[in-house]
Amino acid sequence: MNSVPVRALLVRGMLAGLLAGVLAFAVAYLLGEPPVDAAIAFEEQGSHSHGEEELVSRAVQSTAGLATGILLTGVALGGIAALAFCVALGRFGRIGPRATAGLISLGAALTVCVVPFLKYPANPPAVGDPGTIGRRTALYFLLIALSVLLAVAAVIFGKRLAPRLGNWNATVAAVAGFVVAIGLAYAFLPSFNEAPEGFPAAVLWQFRLASLAVQLSLWAGFGLVFGHLVERLLVPQRPGEANAGAETHRAAAAH
């Protein structure tokens, strides 16, 4: 795909990630902050350090801090997804740029968000042993890497099987292989259940579902925005549409 303007796609990917980050921030603020506040209240009930002064206030953490983290994450992931789009474009048959962007976003949502979440869901404050945080973080990123690599292997496997089995059967075989491989990873990787006694189960699951919703909204927003941007960049405009656009522009200028 040497004809693909990589720099232009990278810029559009980062822009789409930024705009998707705005959507994800709204979801995080509306759905994620209430269970975080409830978890902090539970933590403070059993804490003996009420007099300690916070370096960053809770108000800043839940607004500017949250927005900065999500927006920077959106920009970074948008750039990575744009590079993946450059590699994938034209390799999924005759589907266009918008559909390819949608597939990239869907694949990222499944491999980077859903698969790790089912094994290692996010924890609110007061949940989790501080002594295992390093191990839990390493295992979480290991599972993300395994999920992405297995997904790529499943795509390659499916494409090689397609001439013999047909597209449908090859896709089913590739998905089944991915599910089995992920199931084995789930079985061999350790699990953690470190919720403190008395912690409200409703708060725990509200936080976890909100965390998943934030990630899914980020990738959904990215897919929609990036798909629109690359469609305009890569798909030639029809002559009729171009003439209509030029006439509209001239009429607007005349007024």
Q: Which of 5-9, 12-16, 40-44, 178-182 has the lowest mean pLDDT?
A: 40-44
Q: Residue 225: name the closest of 6, 4, 5, 23 by CA.
A: 23
Q: Residue 199: name the closest of 125, 121, 131 by CA.
A: 125
| Locus of tokens 């266009």 | 96
- Assess contact for 46 and 17: CB atoms under 8 A: no
pLDDT confidence of residue 209:
95
Taking the mean position of all CA atoms in its chain, how far away is CA 33? 19
pLDDT in tens, 156-183: 898 888 888 888 898 899 999 999 999 9
- Assess contact for 72 and 17: CB atoms under 8 A: no
Q: What angle do CA 105, 109, 114 make, to 5 degrees?
A: 170
- Assess contact for 120 and 187: CB atoms under 8 A: no
pTM: 0.83
Q: Residue 125: name the closest of 171, 58, 74, 78 by CA.
A: 58
d(CA 56, CA 68): 14
Tokens at 214, concatenated: 């934030």
| Locus of tokens 């500017």 | 64
pLDDT confidence of residue 48:
52
pLDDT confidence of residue 177:
93
Domain ranges, ordered by start, for the chain:
1-45+58-127+197-234, 129-194
**What are the counts of helices (DSSP H) followed by strands (DSSP E) for the chain?**
10, 0
pLDDT confidence of residue 129:
79
pLDDT in tens, 117-132: 999 998 888 787 788 8
pLDDT in tens, 178-219: 999 999 999 999 988 878 888 888 999 999 999 999 999 999
Residue 229 pLDDT class (50, 70, 90 cuts): very high
d(CA 84, CA 107): 11
Q: What angle do CA 64, 70, 73 make, to 5 degrees?
A: 135
- Assess contact for 67 and 214: CB atoms under 8 A: no
pLDDT in tens, 20-58: 999 999 999 999 899 998 888 887 786 654 445 566 677
Tokens at 233, concatenated: 């960049």
